[in-house]
Amino acid sequence: MDRFDNIPEIALDWHRSGKGAALATVVETWGSAPRRVGSQLAVSGEGEIMGSVSGGCVEGAVVMEALEALEDGKARVLEFGVSDGDAFAVGLACGGTIRVLVEPVGEALPVGLLEELVAARAARRPVAVVADLVDGDRVLTHHGYAERFRMDRSGFEEEGRFFVSIHNPPLRMIIVGAVHIAQALVPMAQLAGYDLTLIDPREAFGSDARFPGERILHDWPDDAVQELGLDSRTALVLLSHDPKIDDPALEQALAANVFYIGALGSTRTHAKRVDRLTARGFTPEQIGRIHGPVGLDIGAASPAEIAVSILAECTQVLRKG
């Protein structure tokens, strides 16, 4: 999965500065295409670029088309592939074919819509931009396309008429308990595209020596998760094995819309957890959202293997529900 980037924000800044800007988006791929559908490239009226639609293969040709689009104000769909002589000449020799939608900001792509998109991204609200390639309309929506949002999958609807560009906030993992399992889970989750925050009021556990360069909060967990905010792109993993530390964050998560809650502990430990939460007034449906014992049952024994099982379970819940 591509990490969250700032291509729409850069295009908006270039437009506002008077340079002009166009957005190029991969709308379809076949074969061994170098970039996934939804990947974007911003092009300024001065020929500056940011982002990528092909990893460098066809960017030069796309930039030329984008500059022409800024001149005539019209969107266009480009196609490149090794079977196309012109495309091969610009370097798409990886065996794939791609189609790229080029939209000049202020003409084909309204400035107001781009501003709404940038605001939604800043607020961590999942949003889709729907482009009608027949009538030329552009609509921004927070509703519908549940499967596309869940899978981070942009693509065409209605036989190629509407292109749906998915803009999800970056995945985020909040780990409560800076224990040995967390030391293995943090780098694994980062490689999988998660932004990481560690919470542990015990400074001896959550130290820079144990987690060099990581974001560590030493606040009490309920205060810390309130400060961070919990949303549908957040996974909460509770590893302290101490109810005084885990439960305050857990109660916050059960009242929020996080996509994953996992809690370390044996079956007996989880049964006690369920009893405590029931006494606190949480419903069986709410409590049933907790994955406890945490992680897929793969026979994990070492801290690293447990971390693998946790990340695998996060991925399963994210992609399959």
Average pLDDT score over residue span 35-41: 91
**Cα(294)–Cα(201) distance, integer angstroms:** 21
Cβ-based neighbours of 221, under 8 Å, separated by 6 or more: 176, 199, 201, 245, 246, 248, 249, 252
Q: Given this model, what pLDDT does residue 321 score?
A: 79
The larger pLDDT score, comparing residue 294 to residue 91, is at: 294
* pLDDT mean across residues, the chain: 91
E strands, the chain, in order: 21-30, 40-44, 49-51, 76-81, 97-104, 127-132, 138-141, 155-157, 162-167, 172-176, 195-199, 216-217, 234-238, 260-263, 290-291
- Going by C-alpha positions, the residue among 275, 277, 217 that lies closest to residue 252 is 277
For 75-103, the pLDDT digits (tens) are: 999 998 755 554 444 445 555 788 999 99
The CATH superfamily label for domain 172-320 reads NAD(P)-binding Rossmann-like Domain (3.40.50.720)
Start-end of CATH 3.40.50.720 domains in the chain: 172-320
Q: What does the DSSP assignment read for 102-151?
A: EEEBTTTB-HHHHHHHHHHHHTT--EEEEEETTT--EEEESSS-HHHHHH
Q: What is the pLDDT of residues 203-242, one digit of tens each?
A: 999 999 999 999 999 999 999 999 999 999 999 999 998 9
CB 232 within 8 A of CB 257: yes
